[in-house]
Amino acid sequence: MASDPQDMLSLSVREFVSAAGAKTPTPGGGSVAGVVGALSVALGQMSLNFTRGKKKYAEHEPYYEHLAGRLDRARRMFEGLIADDISAYGLYQQSGRMDDGPEKDQAVQLALAAAIDVPRESAKLALAVLTDLKDFAPKCSKWLISDLVAAGALAVAVARLADYNVRINVPQLTDRQAAADIHQASADDVKRAEGLLAEIDRACKELLP
């Protein structure tokens, strides 16, 4: 098994699943969210790659080229968030081992900030991907529609997973107003993600017989 967060992606699918199910704190929900996000983008990329290059969609080639770059960056960002999540948990573990006192309190709050920041970034990235998938839907081959919708469903799952991670951590923040604001923003992101998926679904239904 890979012990370095940066090596997590070197695991086979079977090894990653085994690691996620083991009695170890990482990889946990945040890392799984990163993998799900990367898979969401990958399905979007497959839908794009089977659509572009065909005469029927020639007018959209400049758009496809732009979208390809965005999806590639999004997938790499999700992959990076896997390592970020594991590193954030490592900070939290370190702060818990410190002696009680002001320094420990500060370290805990900083670790919590990192633990919250990763899922918030995951949710924002998921929303960006959903927006791209929504714009792509009317220009996607009808033979790839099911994969496109599946990509959207996985992106919504990322937003939900991110929200769960935020909700478990924000109660520990000493800044109660900041905690409430983060909690609300995370909930709003889930609603927005679900709304974008509904738009993708409607656009895809129009393309299907």
**pLDDT per residue as tens digits for the range 36-68:** 999 999 999 999 999 999 999 999 999 999 999
For residue 74, pLDDT over 80 is answered with: yes
For residue 104, pLDDT over 90 is answered with: no
CATH class as words, domain 26-207: mainly alpha
> Could you count the other beta carbons within 10 Å of the beta carbon of residue 174?
11
Mean pLDDT of 113-135: 96
The predicted structure's pLDDT at residue 4: 57
Q: How confident is the model at residue 2 (pLDDT cuts 50, 70, 90)?
A: very low
Q: How confident is the model at residue 31 (pLDDT cuts 50, 70, 90)?
A: very high
Question: Which two three-digit tokens encode residue 160?
Answer: 């939900």
**Cα dihedral: 151, 157, 159, 163 (round 10):** -170
The predicted structure's pLDDT at residue 160: 98
The residue with greater pLDDT, 158 or 113, is 158
Q: How confident is the model at residue 95 (pLDDT cuts 50, 70, 90)?
A: confident
Q: What percentage of the chain has pLDDT greater than the value 70?
A: 96
**pLDDT per residue as tens digits for the range 148-202:** 999 999 999 999 999 999 999 999 999 999 999 999 999 999 999 999 999 999 9
Cα 150 to Cα 10, 101, 172: the distances in Å are 25, 49, 35
Question: Which two three-digit tokens encode residue 67?
Answer: 């979208």
The predicted structure's pLDDT at residue 1: 42
The predicted structure's pLDDT at residue 164: 96
Largest Cα separation within the chain, whole Å, is 68
